[in-house]
Structure 1
Amino acid sequence: MTPDIGQGGCAALEDSVVLARNLAEALKENDRKQQDDEDKRIERGLENFARERKWRIFDLISVSYVVGWMQHSDGVVMNFLRDKLAKFLAGMLMKKASFDCGKLIVS
């Protein structure tokens, strides 16, 4: 992810919370199931994590790329569009910072 929207570190923190939550949910049944089944539960937790985070990260990477491309482009037309769309883009970028990772349950 390019640094153009300043969400790389936040996305990493979101990833850590979502990963911990998905692995905890997958391993929560530890007392009821055999140890041999633990690998399959971890795999299922990782698959759930990837499924949950895929579109959020795709969105951040895509927006970051477009913003970077607009910022580094030259030309009269691009400068005009960038200046006119700046307010709209600022509002859209602020929405990217609002994401609910869910809650971690302490047992």
Structure 2
Amino acid sequence: MSSPLRYRHPWELLWGNINKDNVCVVGDALHPITPYIGQGGYATLEDGVVLARCLVGALLKEQSEETKGQGDREREEYKRIEMGLKIYAKERRWRSIELISTTYFVGFVQQGNGQVTTFLRDNILPAFLAGLLLKRADFDCGKLSIS
């Protein structure tokens, strides 16, 4: 029986593993975010660029001289993929925490119906939230080079 999909809290990424061996969580599985900040699709595109860069970087390294047989080459390639995914996970962890935290906060403020939350949302937070959303959209995920 498969487990149900659920929202990931920001603090779960601090201690959780997002990769193991040659498997890694990417896209909405890594950072499921509500549409409050309008970054879901863009974050997944960032993931694709960073993942491609990390895997290509790991796979294009020179093979060691000790790699003679087919089994040795496959094991070395497996290790390279594993290393590329570790680099990817390290690079994307904080960006994902940042996105999830922002959407968590913005959703809480926008859905809040208490007097304090309503007052803050309507009178104090609009300028702060607008700046926060623009800040999250300004991210450089690096470049892919054509070899």
- Of the structure 1 ranges 83-92 and 48-57, higher mean CA displacement relative to structure 2 is found in 83-92
Separation of aligned partners in 1, 2:144 and 2:40 = 21
**Residues 28-43 of structure 1: matches in 2 within 5 Å?**
28-29=60-61, 32-33=63-64, 34=67, 35=73, 36-43=75-82
Deviations 1:30-65 (A, max 9, x none): 5x3332311001000000000000010011001101
C-alpha displacement of 1:76 = 2.1
Does residue 17 in structure 1 map to residue 49 in structure 2? yes
**Count of aligned pairs:** 106
Equivalent position amino acid for 1:16 in 2: G
Separation of aligned partners in 2, 1:27 and 1:17 = 15
Q: For the aligned residues, what is the CA RMSD? A: 1.1
- Of the structure 1 ranges 85-94 and 42-51, higher mean CA displacement relative to structure 2 is found in 85-94
Q: Taking every aligned residue pair, what percent have the same amino acid on both sides? A: 56
Indicate the SS of the match to 2:61: helix
Query: Higher helix proportion, which one?
Result: 1
Structure 1 residues without counterparts, runs of 5 or longer: none
Which of residues 73, 76, 79 is equivalent to 2:112? 73
Match of residue 103 from structure 1: 143
What TM-score comes out, normalization by structure 2 length?
0.69
What TM-score comes out, normalization by structure 1 length?
0.93
Indicate the SS of the match to 2:60: helix
Give every structure 1 segment of 4 or more consecutive aligned residues whose post-TM-superposition deviation is greater than 2 Å.
none
C-alpha displacement of 1:77 = 1.5
Q: Greater RCO between the two (CA within 8 Å, min separation 6)? A: 1
Match of residue 22 from structure 2: none
Does residue 7 in structure 1 map to residue 47 in structure 2? no
Separation of aligned partners in 2, 1:28 and 1:75 = 56
Does residue 61 in structure 1 map to residue 100 in structure 2? yes
Equivalent position amino acid for 1:90 in 2: A
